[in-house]
Each structure stands twice: as C-alpha cells, then as structure tokens.
C-alpha cells in the first residue's frame, strides 16, 4: 500500500466519526506519525510503499479510532504551546483555551512592576495533569521557580515524563489540594495558576462521547451543589499562601464567570474576567486587595 492509498483509507475510515475538516487533520496527523514525514514530503513521495510494520501500525490506530478514542490518546501525544506533550488517559488532553491562559499569565508576569525584577518568583500550578501549564510557563519564563501539584500519582507520572523530555525544571508534588491540612506542606507563592475541575455533573449529558469515555472524570467534574469548590479553596489558600503583590490566574467554566468573580471579591480580592478567542468567559485574574 502506498502513502497516498493509506491516506485515502484513513480518510474513508474517519468520515463517519468526524466532519470533513477534522477527518483531514487527523488523517494528516496519523500519516505523519506513521511515516515520520511532513505533509509536503508525503505529497512528493506519495507512491512510496509502506512497510509491513507501518501497515500494522496504521491498522492498529484505525481500530482504536473506531472506538471514538481521541487521536491524542491513540498516538500518545498532543501538541500544546508549540511543544509535543505525552498524554494518556490519566490526564486531560491539553486544549487551546488553556494556551490563552498561559499567554495571559506570562504577559502579566513580564509586565509586572519593578519589584519582581531582581527576585525569583515562585509559581504553583494546582491540578497539573499533563504538566502543560507549568512546563509551558517555565519554558517561556526560565527565571520562575515552579511547583506543580496533583492528587493523581498517574497524572504526575505523565507530567514528570513531559518535564524531562522538554527539559523543564519543575518540582512535582502529589497532594490532595482540597484537604486544607495539606497546605502546611506548601510555601508562599507569588503566582498561583490552575485549570481545575469546573464542569457540573449535570452538564455531562451535553458532552461528547469520546470525552466521557476516555478523559479522566476526576479532572473534569464537580458536584452541582458545589460547582465553585476548587475556586473557593483557592480563595482560602491565597489568604495564607499568596504573597502581598501576588497574582492568581484561573481557567473557568464559561457559564460561571460572574459567580467566580463574586466569590473572590467577597473574599477580599480584586478580579479581572477575560474572554477567550471564542468570546466566552474563560479566564480570571485575581489579586489580593492591598489596604
């Protein structure tokens, strides 16, 4: 089977799973993964014959995709902030809106006042998953001292692998952040970043099957009766573990932007809500009020 024939077969297998554009993108990703060749190189060498090993790999990938398993889990990789991250079903697949959160965080740190210039800033990522947030920020801002925590040992194993492969010096800790007794093990931070679980259990029915079947529910859902659970805990944590002029950057449920703002403001913070590129309330910046 030639590269061209394999591409056509992949598109045919995907057409009942995804729309035309997404099918084309996934097919390109699969073929690049199998052949190690970029699209332009495959077009120039489209009559090249796949090896038996490559054919076997293609058949295995197509079989997994047929179960609605996300392509990132099938290939064990996800591109984020221009870097290739290893992912498996212990962690969420990194998403574009989180890249926007990182860009905002990095810009605010870089633009912060003179007080930061001669000081190593301590940053913590709460619920790190694949490690995409702390690793991306460390690569952008090498002067940061970065800690990343997660309750899941399996997730931290993925994050550590990514930090090693991407040469990012991160301090990883397995810790249940919701248990306030564990906060005694953590220092004061200048920056807190988090993309915590924020999807209500009642929203589950509107979500796609591949997310529900494969992505870790622990990293997705919060109870309907306490949808702001993690934000409430972060607000309390900041009272004792955020430096005087520190900043907090959070990804949020698009339907709960004003609720998150109100929660922090009632706890003595100032807030700035920001929309993502889709026009949805998706991020909030938080500072302690300076009296």
What secondary structure letter does DSSP report for 75?
Answer: H
Report if residue 246 sits inside a domain: yes
Domain co-membership, 45 together with 136: no
CB atoms within 10 A of CB 145: 16
Q: Distance between CA atoms of 96 and 135, rounded to whole angstroms?
A: 15
Report if residue 59 sits inside a domain: yes
Domain co-membership, 176 together with 36: no
Closest by Cα among 286, 285, 282, 284 to 95: 282
pLDDT recorded at residue 198: 74
Maximum pairwise Cα distance, the chain: 71
pLDDT in tens, 259-289: 999 999 999 999 999 999 899 999 999 998 8
Report if residue 271 sits inside a domain: yes
Give Cα 168 to chain centroid, integer Å.
Answer: 16
Would you say 50 and 34 are in contact if contact means Cβ atoms under 8 Å apart? Answer: yes
CB atoms within 10 A of CB 135: 28
CB-based contacts of 124, cutoff 8 Å, min separation 6: 146, 147, 148, 149, 186, 189, 191, 192, 193
pLDDT recorded at residue 85: 97
Residue 274 Ramachandran class (φ > 0 left, ψ -120 to 50 alpha, else beta): beta
Q: What percent of the chain has pLDDT over 90?
A: 69
Report if residue 280 sits inside a domain: yes
Report if residue 76 sits inside a domain: no
Domain co-membership, 114 together with 20: no
pLDDT recorded at residue 66: 92
Kind plus residue range of the DSSP H or E element containing 209: helix 209-214
Q: Distance between CA atoms of 223 and 211, rounded to whole angstroms?
A: 18
Domain co-membership, 104 together with 33: no
Q: Distance between CA atoms of 135 and 150, rounded to whole angstroms?
A: 14
Closest by Cα among 80, 61, 82, 231 to 158: 80
Domain co-membership, 42 together with 109: no
Domain co-membership, 130 together with 58: no
Domain co-membership, 60 together with 118: no
Q: Distance between CA atoms of 203 and 256, rounded to whole angstroms?
A: 13
pLDDT recorded at residue 227: 82
CB atoms within 10 A of CB 220: 17
Domain co-membership, 154 together with 256: yes
Give Cα 161 to chain centroid, integer Å.
Answer: 15
CATH number at residue 185: 3.40.50.150
Would you say 285 and 248 are in contact if contact means Cβ atoms under 8 Å apart? Answer: yes
Domain co-membership, 118 together with 256: yes
Report if residue 72 sits inside a domain: no
Domain co-membership, 97 together with 191: yes
Cα 246 to Cα 52, 111, 130, 193: the distances in Å are 56, 13, 25, 11
Give Cα 241 to chain centroid, integer Å.
Answer: 24
Q: How many domains does the chain have?
A: 2
Domain co-membership, 140 together with 245: yes
Domain co-membership, 122 together with 25: no
Pairing of strands 170-174, 221-222: unpaired
Share the mean pLDDT of the chain: 90
pLDDT tens digits in sequence order for the chain, 291 residues long: 898 999 999 999 998 888 888 899 999 999 999 999 888 888 888 888 999 999 999 999 999 999 999 999 999 999 999 999 999 999 999 998 999 999 999 999 988 755 555 566 899 999 999 999 999 999 999 999 999 999 999 999 999 999 999 999 999 999 999 999 999 999 999 999 999 987 766 666 666 666 666 777 777 666 667 789 999 999 999 999 999 889 999 999 888 999 999 999 999 999 999 999 899 999 999 998 865
pLDDT recorded at residue 211: 65
Give Cα 263 to chain centroid, integer Å.
Answer: 24
pLDDT in tens, 96-146: 899 999 999 999 998 875 555 556 689 999 999 999 999 999 999 999 999
Report if residue 238 sits inside a domain: yes
Range of the domain at 31: 3-66
Residue 28 CB burial class (10 angstroms; 0-12, 13-18, ≥19): middle
């Amino acid at each position: 089977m030639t590269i061209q024939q394999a591409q056509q077969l992949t598109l045919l297998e995907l057409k009942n799973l995804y729309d035309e554009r997404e099918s084309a993108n996934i097919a390109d990703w699969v073929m690049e993964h199998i052949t190690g060749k970029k699209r332009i190189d495959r077009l120039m060498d489209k009559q090249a014959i796949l090896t038996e090993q490559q054919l076997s790999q293609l058949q295995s990938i197509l079989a997994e995709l047929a179960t609605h398993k996300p392509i990132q889990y099938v290939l064990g990789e996800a591109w984020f902030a221009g870097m290739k991250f290893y992912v498996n079903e212990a962690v969420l697949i990194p998403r574009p809106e989180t890249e926007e959160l990182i860009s905002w965080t990095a810009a605010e740190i870089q633009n912060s006042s003179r007080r930061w210039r001669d000081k190593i800033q301590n940053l913590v990522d709460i619920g790190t998953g694949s490690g995409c947030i702390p690793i991306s920020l460390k690569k952008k801002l090498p002067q940061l001292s970065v800690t990343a925590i997660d309750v899941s040992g399996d997730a931290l194993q993925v994050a550590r692998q990514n930090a090693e492969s991407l040469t990012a010096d991160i301090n990883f800790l397995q810790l249940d952040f919701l248990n306030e007794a564990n906060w005694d093990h953590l220092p004061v931070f200048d920056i807190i970043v988090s993309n915590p679980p924020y999807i209500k259990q009642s929203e589950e029915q509107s979500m796609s099957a591949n997310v529900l079947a494969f992505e870790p529910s622990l990293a997705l859902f919060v109870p309907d009766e306490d949808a702001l659970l993690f934000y409430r805990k972060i607000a309390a944590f900041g009272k004792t573990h955020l430096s005087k002029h520190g900043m907090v950057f959070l990804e949020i449920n698009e339907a709960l932007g004003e609720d998150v703002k109100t929660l922090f403001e009632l706890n003595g913070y100032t807030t700035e809500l920001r929309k993502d590129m889709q026009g949805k309330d998706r991020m909030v910046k938080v500072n302690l009020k300076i009296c």
